Amino acid sequence: MSAAALARIARGLAGAEEESDFPRYRQIIDALVRAIERGTLSPGDRLPPETKLAKLFSVSLGTIQKALAHLANGGFLQRTRRRGTFVAGRRAEDVFVFRFRNPETGEVLVPFTRVLSVTEDRSDGPWRKFLRVERCVLVERLVWVEGDSPAFSQFRISREHGKHLLDEPIEALHGVSFHRILGRKFNLPTVRTSHRLQCRKLGREVCRHLLVPEGTYGTVWDVVGYSYQQATTYQSLHIPAGHRPIELDAATVAPQRQAA
C-alpha cells in the first residue's frame, strides 16, 4: 500500500474535521471505508502499526484501536496478532456474470468480492418461486473492479445447499465462487442463466452499503442460475449510476466457466 495514499486520507480528514459532528473515531472509519470502496486501499493492503496510524491521524492509540475494531467487525479489515491488519476482500475465483473489459487492452477485469453477511432468509420474493423453497441462505457482498465504485450483491441459494455457509467465518468467503461450490459439493453446475434488468431507486440498505445518498437511482440486475432444468441460484446486483458498462457474453455461461 502506498504510504502517500494513506497520508492523503489523513490530510483530507484533518481538513474536514471542523465540519463534522461525528466523533473522531467515526470520522476515521468513514474515511477508510471510502478509501477501500474507491480502490485507494486495495484488498490485501497492509496497514501500518496502530501507533503509526494514531500519529498519522493525530489521535490517541485508543481512538485508532476503536476505529480499527469497528472496521474489522464490519468485514472491511482482517486483523491477526502476528501478521497485522489488512484490507479484507479477495479477487473472485472466476467470473461468471459480473465481468468487464479494459477498453484499451480488451483484457477481462476480474472483480474483487467482500462478503458482508451470511444469514438465513425467509423473506418473500421472486427467488422463492424460482428456487422452489421457503428458506434460503442469503449472502450479501460488495463486488467491484479496482478503482471503480462497488455494486451490492444479494446472492440466494436454498438452505439445503447453503446451510454450511452459515458456520463459515466471513473472512473465508471473500472471493469465493458459490456457483463452483454447487458444482463441486452437490454436482449442480450452473449451465445457463436468465437475466432481468431494470432502473429504479436503490433501497435504503443498498444505498448505505454503497455510500450513496438515499433515493439514488441505479440498475437492479437479477440473475437466475440453472443447473440443467433446476434453478439453483438467484442473485440481485444493485449497481449505482455511472458504473462502467457490463459485458454480457453467452460464452460465459458454459458449464466449464462456473464462477462467482
What is the Cα–Cα distance from 259 to 159, expressed in whole angstroms?
A: 20
CA-closest candidate to residue 111, choices 91, 89, 88: 91
What pLDDT is stored for residue 21 in this prediction?
Answer: 72
CA separation, residue 220 to residues 97, 131, 150, 226 (Å): 14, 19, 13, 20
Every domain of the chain and the residues it spans: 3-87, 94-257
Between the alpha carbon of residue 151 and those of residues 41, 97, 111, the distances in Å are 17, 13, 10
Share of the chain above pLDDT 90, in %: 41
CA distances from 80 to 48, 86, 109, 148 (A): 13, 9, 30, 28
pTM over 0.85: no
CA distance linking residue 58 with residue 72, whole number of Å: 21
At 186-241, the pLDDT tens digits run 999 988 889 999 999 999 999 988 878 899 999 999 999 999 889 999 999 999 88
Task: Please give the pLDDT value at position 2.
Answer: 60
User: Rounded to whole angstroms, how far apart are CA atoms 2 and 182?
Assistant: 38
The strand pairing partners of 194, in sequence order, are 224
The pLDDT score that the predictor gives to residue 77 is 84
Residue spans of the chain under pLDDT 70:
1-2, 15-20, 37, 82, 93-96, 146-147, 247-260
Domain 3-87 belongs in CATH node 1.10.10.10? yes
Q: Which CATH class is domain 94-257?
A: alpha beta
- The closest alpha carbon to 140, from 150, 148, 129, belongs to 150
Residues in the chain, overall count: 260
Amino acid of residue 204: R
